[in-house]
Structure 1
Amino acid sequence: MEEAKEENRRLKSSLSKIKKDFEVLQTQYKKLVVQHEDLNKLLPKGHHQDKDEDEDKERIRERDELVLLSLGRRLKSPVPSGSVMNKEEKMKDFMNETGDDRKID
């Protein structure tokens, strides 16, 4: 019987600690939600759209600077060794191989 009482005390103590930790986390969460809402109120409405457009432009710029390296067989027949492709032709060839149909500016 004494063992059961001791176990009960330990469980109550653990439960009390868990409740306190939960309350602290809940308070922190509420503060973060309020901060996030305040930040959204301060940002201009089109801010997220502008960010997406900037990310798209960055992806296109990175794709334009892409250096194509391949090991093994190509999906298409290899280019004759004497011919040289310009950057745009290489990019179109790469886009065709990867199935990316987006227009390159």
Structure 2
Amino acid sequence: MDTTKAMSPVEARIRERHATIHALLAQGHGIREIARELHMGGNTVRPNARATVLERMLSGRRQPRPSQLDPGHHLKDWINATRTSDHPPVSTGSNRQTSPQVQ
């Protein structure tokens, strides 16, 4: 059984970029020169140059934001709190009942 994780195209591109930038830094090139040579912005080269360990570039990515369509969204709680007793509470949609079809 193969326990190695398949590398995504984005991860492969980050690994290649990091290795290339550090190879050029080791040769004595500066950030601006590397950016110009690799056709990248200095704001792309700089974080790669500062990250001595590649895993710092791969971890700490942006956290996913909760979807507005998430059934546990706080809006459902607010609606239920403001409803009067003659209105049923809002459900998450998983056990929705449909009204009978009129023919």
Q: Which range, TM-score by smaller chain?
A: under 0.3
- The structure with higher relative contact order (CA 8 Å, sep 6+) is 1
Q: TM-score, normalised by structure 1?
A: 0.27
Q: TM-score, normalised by structure 2?
A: 0.28
Select the structure that is richer in helix: 1
